[in-house]
A and B are shown apart, each in its own frame.
Chain A
Amino acid sequence: MSAPPQARPARAPVGTVYRGRAGMWSWVLHRITGFLIFLFLLVHVLDTAMVRVSPETYNTAIETYQNVVMGLSEAGLVAAIVLHAMNGLRIILVGFWSKGARFQKRLLWLAVAAAAILLIPFLAIHLSHVFNPHEDTQPSPTISSPGGD
Protein backbone atom coordinates (compact mmCIF):
# COMPACT_ATOMS: atom_id res chain seq x y z
CA MET A 1 0.00 0.00 0.00
CA SER A 2 0.99 3.61 -0.16
CA ALA A 3 3.22 5.38 2.32
CA PRO A 4 1.53 6.80 5.41
CA PRO A 5 0.36 10.39 4.94
CA GLN A 6 2.98 12.91 5.98
CA ALA A 7 1.88 15.49 8.51
CA ARG A 8 2.07 18.94 6.91
CA PRO A 9 3.48 21.79 8.94
CA ALA A 10 0.60 23.93 10.20
CA ARG A 11 0.06 27.04 8.09
CA ALA A 12 -2.71 29.60 8.17
CA PRO A 13 -5.71 28.30 10.15
CA VAL A 14 -7.98 27.41 7.23
CA GLY A 15 -9.74 24.41 8.72
CA THR A 16 -8.41 21.25 7.15
CA VAL A 17 -6.12 20.32 4.25
CA TYR A 18 -9.28 20.24 2.14
CA ARG A 19 -11.78 22.78 3.49
CA GLY A 20 -11.52 26.26 2.06
CA ARG A 21 -8.84 25.32 -0.46
CA ALA A 22 -8.78 24.91 -4.23
CA GLY A 23 -10.03 21.31 -4.06
CA MET A 24 -13.15 22.37 -2.21
CA TRP A 25 -13.95 25.29 -4.47
CA SER A 26 -13.51 23.24 -7.63
CA TRP A 27 -15.89 20.66 -6.09
CA VAL A 28 -18.45 23.40 -5.32
CA LEU A 29 -18.07 24.78 -8.86
CA HIS A 30 -18.51 21.29 -10.35
CA ARG A 31 -21.77 20.75 -8.41
CA ILE A 32 -23.26 24.14 -9.25
CA THR A 33 -22.35 23.98 -12.95
CA GLY A 34 -23.51 20.35 -13.21
CA PHE A 35 -26.85 21.14 -11.59
CA LEU A 36 -27.46 24.15 -13.85
CA ILE A 37 -26.49 22.20 -16.99
CA PHE A 38 -28.94 19.43 -16.04
CA LEU A 39 -31.80 21.93 -15.62
CA PHE A 40 -30.92 23.46 -18.99
CA LEU A 41 -30.95 19.99 -20.63
CA LEU A 42 -34.55 19.43 -19.52
CA VAL A 43 -35.63 22.70 -21.15
CA HIS A 44 -33.40 22.18 -24.19
CA VAL A 45 -34.91 18.79 -25.10
CA LEU A 46 -38.44 20.17 -24.59
CA ASP A 47 -37.88 23.16 -26.87
CA THR A 48 -36.12 21.06 -29.50
CA ALA A 49 -39.07 18.62 -29.39
CA MET A 50 -41.13 21.43 -30.97
CA VAL A 51 -39.55 20.46 -34.34
CA ARG A 52 -41.92 17.49 -34.18
CA VAL A 53 -44.95 19.81 -33.98
CA SER A 54 -44.31 22.19 -36.89
CA PRO A 55 -41.60 24.51 -38.27
CA GLU A 56 -43.60 27.53 -37.04
CA THR A 57 -43.88 26.19 -33.48
CA TYR A 58 -40.15 25.51 -33.29
CA ASN A 59 -39.21 28.88 -34.80
CA THR A 60 -41.53 30.69 -32.40
CA ALA A 61 -39.92 28.88 -29.45
CA ILE A 62 -36.41 29.71 -30.68
CA GLU A 63 -37.30 33.35 -31.38
CA THR A 64 -38.11 33.87 -27.70
CA TYR A 65 -34.44 33.04 -27.01
CA GLN A 66 -33.04 35.44 -29.59
CA ASN A 67 -32.53 38.52 -27.44
CA VAL A 68 -29.64 39.97 -25.47
CA VAL A 69 -30.70 38.57 -22.07
CA MET A 70 -30.89 35.01 -23.41
CA GLY A 71 -27.73 35.56 -25.47
CA LEU A 72 -25.83 36.45 -22.29
CA SER A 73 -27.41 33.46 -20.52
CA GLU A 74 -26.14 31.23 -23.35
CA ALA A 75 -22.66 32.68 -22.82
CA GLY A 76 -22.93 31.78 -19.12
CA LEU A 77 -24.24 28.31 -19.99
CA VAL A 78 -21.33 27.60 -22.33
CA ALA A 79 -18.89 28.91 -19.70
CA ALA A 80 -20.45 26.54 -17.14
CA ILE A 81 -20.22 23.62 -19.59
CA VAL A 82 -16.58 24.31 -20.50
CA LEU A 83 -15.54 24.71 -16.83
CA HIS A 84 -17.40 21.50 -15.90
CA ALA A 85 -15.77 19.69 -18.85
CA MET A 86 -12.22 20.82 -18.06
CA ASN A 87 -12.56 20.16 -14.32
CA GLY A 88 -14.11 16.79 -15.22
CA LEU A 89 -10.98 15.89 -17.18
CA ARG A 90 -8.98 16.93 -14.09
CA ILE A 91 -11.10 14.61 -11.90
CA ILE A 92 -10.44 11.76 -14.35
CA LEU A 93 -6.69 12.44 -14.17
CA VAL A 94 -6.75 12.61 -10.36
CA GLY A 95 -8.49 9.23 -10.32
CA PHE A 96 -6.58 7.36 -13.00
CA TRP A 97 -3.15 8.99 -13.36
CA SER A 98 -0.70 7.77 -10.72
CA LYS A 99 0.54 11.33 -10.12
CA GLY A 100 -2.90 12.92 -10.53
CA ALA A 101 -3.66 13.34 -6.83
CA ARG A 102 -0.24 14.89 -6.17
CA PHE A 103 -0.74 17.46 -8.94
CA GLN A 104 -4.46 18.06 -8.29
CA LYS A 105 -3.98 21.74 -7.50
CA ARG A 106 -1.77 22.38 -10.53
CA LEU A 107 -4.27 20.44 -12.65
CA LEU A 108 -6.99 22.80 -11.45
CA TRP A 109 -5.12 25.84 -12.73
CA LEU A 110 -4.45 23.95 -15.95
CA ALA A 111 -8.20 23.21 -16.26
CA VAL A 112 -9.07 26.87 -15.65
CA ALA A 113 -6.46 27.94 -18.24
CA ALA A 114 -7.79 25.44 -20.79
CA ALA A 115 -11.33 26.69 -20.15
CA ALA A 116 -10.19 30.28 -20.70
CA ILE A 117 -8.42 29.35 -23.94
CA LEU A 118 -11.62 27.73 -25.22
CA LEU A 119 -14.00 30.38 -23.90
CA ILE A 120 -12.30 33.60 -25.02
CA PRO A 121 -12.60 32.95 -28.79
CA PHE A 122 -16.04 31.39 -28.32
CA LEU A 123 -17.38 34.38 -26.39
CA ALA A 124 -15.92 36.80 -28.95
CA ILE A 125 -17.79 34.98 -31.74
CA HIS A 126 -21.00 34.37 -29.79
CA LEU A 127 -21.33 37.87 -28.34
CA SER A 128 -20.61 39.44 -31.74
CA HIS A 129 -23.75 37.67 -33.02
CA VAL A 130 -25.79 38.47 -29.91
CA PHE A 131 -24.96 42.18 -30.07
CA ASN A 132 -25.11 42.55 -33.86
CA PRO A 133 -28.44 44.24 -34.63
CA HIS A 134 -28.00 43.59 -38.38
CA GLU A 135 -28.16 39.85 -37.94
CA ASP A 136 -31.80 39.71 -37.11
CA THR A 137 -33.57 36.39 -36.74
CA GLN A 138 -32.90 34.35 -39.84
CA PRO A 139 -35.95 34.56 -42.08
CA SER A 140 -37.40 31.13 -42.58
CA PRO A 141 -37.43 30.17 -46.24
CA THR A 142 -40.96 30.80 -47.46
CA ILE A 143 -40.61 29.17 -50.86
CA SER A 144 -43.77 27.42 -51.94
CA SER A 145 -43.53 24.28 -54.02
CA PRO A 146 -42.94 25.24 -57.69
CA GLY A 147 -46.07 25.08 -59.79
CA GLY A 148 -48.28 25.65 -56.75
CA ASP A 149 -50.55 28.66 -56.09
Chain B
Amino acid sequence: MTVIADPKAPRSRAAGPGRRATRTNAEAAGWMFMRLSGAALVVMVLGHLTGNLVVPENGVRSLNFAFVAGKWSSFGWQLWDLVLLWLAMLHGANGIRTIINDYASKALTRLWLKVVAVAATITVVLLGTLVIFTFDPCPTINGKVRDGSPEFCYSTTP
Protein backbone atom coordinates (compact mmCIF):
# COMPACT_ATOMS: atom_id res chain seq x y z
CA MET B 1 0.00 0.00 0.00
CA THR B 2 1.32 3.41 -0.95
CA VAL B 3 1.67 5.87 1.90
CA ILE B 4 0.97 9.46 0.92
CA ALA B 5 1.68 12.52 3.02
CA ASP B 6 -1.03 13.95 5.25
CA PRO B 7 -2.32 16.84 3.11
CA LYS B 8 -2.58 19.11 6.15
CA ALA B 9 0.88 18.27 7.51
CA PRO B 10 3.43 21.13 7.58
CA ARG B 11 5.48 21.14 4.41
CA SER B 12 9.04 19.95 4.73
CA ARG B 13 11.92 21.21 2.62
CA ALA B 14 13.47 17.75 2.55
CA ALA B 15 12.92 15.50 -0.45
CA GLY B 16 9.98 13.12 -0.28
CA PRO B 17 6.18 13.26 -0.30
CA GLY B 18 4.76 16.62 0.69
CA ARG B 19 7.99 18.43 -0.05
CA ARG B 20 7.68 22.02 -1.25
CA ALA B 21 8.73 22.16 -4.90
CA THR B 22 9.10 25.94 -4.92
CA ARG B 23 9.65 28.69 -2.42
CA THR B 24 6.36 30.41 -3.19
CA ASN B 25 3.02 28.69 -3.66
CA ALA B 26 1.64 29.99 -6.96
CA GLU B 27 -1.19 27.46 -7.02
CA ALA B 28 -2.45 28.62 -3.63
CA ALA B 29 -2.32 32.23 -4.86
CA GLY B 30 -4.23 31.18 -7.98
CA TRP B 31 -6.83 29.39 -5.84
CA MET B 32 -7.33 32.54 -3.77
CA PHE B 33 -7.41 34.75 -6.89
CA MET B 34 -10.22 32.64 -8.40
CA ARG B 35 -12.36 33.18 -5.29
CA LEU B 36 -11.62 36.89 -4.83
CA SER B 37 -12.01 37.74 -8.53
CA GLY B 38 -15.05 35.45 -8.74
CA ALA B 39 -16.82 37.28 -5.91
CA ALA B 40 -16.10 40.65 -7.56
CA LEU B 41 -17.15 39.33 -10.97
CA VAL B 42 -20.55 38.19 -9.68
CA VAL B 43 -21.36 41.82 -8.83
CA MET B 44 -19.66 43.37 -11.87
CA VAL B 45 -21.01 40.95 -14.49
CA LEU B 46 -24.56 41.02 -13.16
CA GLY B 47 -24.33 44.85 -13.12
CA HIS B 48 -23.02 44.79 -16.71
CA LEU B 49 -25.87 42.52 -17.88
CA THR B 50 -28.53 44.51 -16.01
CA GLY B 51 -27.26 47.83 -17.34
CA ASN B 52 -27.04 46.65 -20.94
CA LEU B 53 -29.92 44.16 -21.32
CA VAL B 54 -32.54 45.02 -18.67
CA VAL B 55 -32.39 48.79 -18.00
CA PRO B 56 -32.56 50.05 -21.64
CA GLU B 57 -36.15 50.37 -22.80
CA ASN B 58 -35.77 47.95 -25.72
CA GLY B 59 -33.34 45.62 -23.96
CA VAL B 60 -30.82 43.96 -26.24
CA ARG B 61 -32.30 45.80 -29.23
CA SER B 62 -31.19 49.13 -27.76
CA LEU B 63 -27.53 48.31 -28.30
CA ASN B 64 -25.73 50.36 -30.94
CA PHE B 65 -22.80 52.74 -31.20
CA ALA B 66 -24.69 55.62 -29.59
CA PHE B 67 -25.52 53.44 -26.58
CA VAL B 68 -21.90 52.35 -26.04
CA ALA B 69 -20.62 55.90 -26.62
CA GLY B 70 -23.14 57.26 -24.12
CA LYS B 71 -21.87 54.83 -21.50
CA TRP B 72 -18.16 55.31 -22.19
CA SER B 73 -18.42 59.08 -22.10
CA SER B 74 -18.60 58.55 -18.33
CA PHE B 75 -15.35 57.65 -16.56
CA GLY B 76 -17.20 55.45 -14.08
CA TRP B 77 -18.43 53.06 -16.80
CA GLN B 78 -15.03 53.11 -18.51
CA LEU B 79 -13.43 52.04 -15.23
CA TRP B 80 -16.16 49.44 -14.61
CA ASP B 81 -15.66 47.85 -18.02
CA LEU B 82 -11.87 48.03 -17.76
CA VAL B 83 -11.79 46.22 -14.40
CA LEU B 84 -14.40 43.78 -15.71
CA LEU B 85 -12.26 43.05 -18.79
CA TRP B 86 -9.11 42.34 -16.78
CA LEU B 87 -10.76 40.32 -14.01
CA ALA B 88 -12.92 38.27 -16.37
CA MET B 89 -10.07 37.48 -18.76
CA LEU B 90 -7.61 36.55 -15.99
CA HIS B 91 -10.24 34.48 -14.16
CA GLY B 92 -11.20 32.78 -17.42
CA ALA B 93 -7.59 32.20 -18.51
CA ASN B 94 -6.75 30.55 -15.19
CA GLY B 95 -9.83 28.36 -15.55
CA ILE B 96 -8.77 27.36 -19.06
CA ARG B 97 -5.30 26.52 -17.68
CA THR B 98 -6.91 24.18 -15.15
CA ILE B 99 -8.96 22.50 -17.87
CA ILE B 100 -5.86 22.09 -20.10
CA ASN B 101 -3.91 20.56 -17.20
CA ASP B 102 -6.75 18.12 -16.53
CA TYR B 103 -7.47 16.87 -20.05
CA ALA B 104 -4.27 17.25 -22.13
CA SER B 105 -2.09 14.33 -21.07
CA LYS B 106 0.98 15.04 -23.21
CA ALA B 107 3.38 17.70 -21.90
CA LEU B 108 3.89 19.18 -25.36
CA THR B 109 0.13 19.39 -26.01
CA ARG B 110 -0.36 21.16 -22.68
CA LEU B 111 2.41 23.59 -23.53
CA TRP B 112 0.96 24.48 -26.93
CA LEU B 113 -2.60 24.82 -25.67
CA LYS B 114 -1.36 27.15 -22.93
CA VAL B 115 0.64 29.20 -25.43
CA VAL B 116 -2.57 29.65 -27.48
CA ALA B 117 -4.64 30.49 -24.38
CA VAL B 118 -2.10 33.01 -23.08
CA ALA B 119 -1.71 34.61 -26.52
CA ALA B 120 -5.50 34.96 -26.89
CA THR B 121 -5.79 36.40 -23.37
CA ILE B 122 -3.01 38.96 -23.83
CA THR B 123 -4.38 40.01 -27.23
CA VAL B 124 -7.93 40.49 -25.95
CA VAL B 125 -6.91 42.28 -22.72
CA LEU B 126 -4.58 44.68 -24.57
CA LEU B 127 -7.07 45.29 -27.39
CA GLY B 128 -9.92 45.94 -24.95
CA THR B 129 -7.79 48.25 -22.78
CA LEU B 130 -6.62 50.18 -25.85
CA VAL B 131 -10.20 50.56 -27.11
CA ILE B 132 -11.53 51.81 -23.76
CA PHE B 133 -8.72 54.35 -23.35
CA THR B 134 -8.57 55.65 -26.93
CA PHE B 135 -12.32 55.63 -27.57
CA ASP B 136 -13.92 58.84 -28.91
CA PRO B 137 -17.69 59.00 -28.29
CA CYS B 138 -18.01 61.76 -30.94
CA PRO B 139 -15.86 60.60 -33.87
CA THR B 140 -15.59 63.12 -36.71
CA ILE B 141 -15.09 62.80 -40.45
CA ASN B 142 -14.10 65.85 -42.51
CA GLY B 143 -14.62 68.02 -39.43
CA LYS B 144 -18.20 66.83 -38.86
CA VAL B 145 -19.50 64.44 -36.22
CA ARG B 146 -20.10 61.04 -37.80
CA ASP B 147 -23.62 59.67 -38.19
CA GLY B 148 -24.58 57.26 -35.44
CA SER B 149 -22.89 59.20 -32.64
CA PRO B 150 -24.87 59.90 -29.44
CA GLU B 151 -27.12 62.98 -29.53
CA PHE B 152 -24.99 65.06 -27.15
CA CYS B 153 -22.24 65.13 -29.80
CA TYR B 154 -24.44 67.23 -32.09
CA SER B 155 -26.06 69.59 -29.60
CA THR B 156 -22.79 71.29 -28.59
CA THR B 157 -21.69 72.02 -32.17
CA PRO B 158 -21.81 75.81 -32.77
Contact = CB atoms under 8 A, between A and B. Distances in A.
A143 B130 CA distance: 29
Contacts of A122: 49, 53-54
B38 A141 contact: no
A76 interface: no
Interface residues of A, number: 54
Nearest to A92: B35
A7 interface: no
Nearest to A142: B147
A138 B147 contact: no
A51 B54 contact: no
A14 interface: no
Interface in A109-149: 118, 122, 125-126, 128-130, 132, 135-138, 140-148
Given A85-B41, A126-B59, A145-B154, A34 B92 contact: yes
Interface of B: 8, 35, 38-39, 41-42, 45-46, 49, 53-54, 58-69, 72, 85, 88-89, 92-93, 95-96, 99, 120, 124, 127-128, 130-131, 134-135, 139, 144-151, 154, 157
Interface of A: 1, 31, 34-35, 37-38, 41-42, 45-46, 48-49, 51-52, 54-56, 58-59, 62, 66, 71, 74, 78, 81-82, 85, 88-89, 91-92, 95-96, 118, 122, 125-126, 128-130, 132, 135-138, 140-148
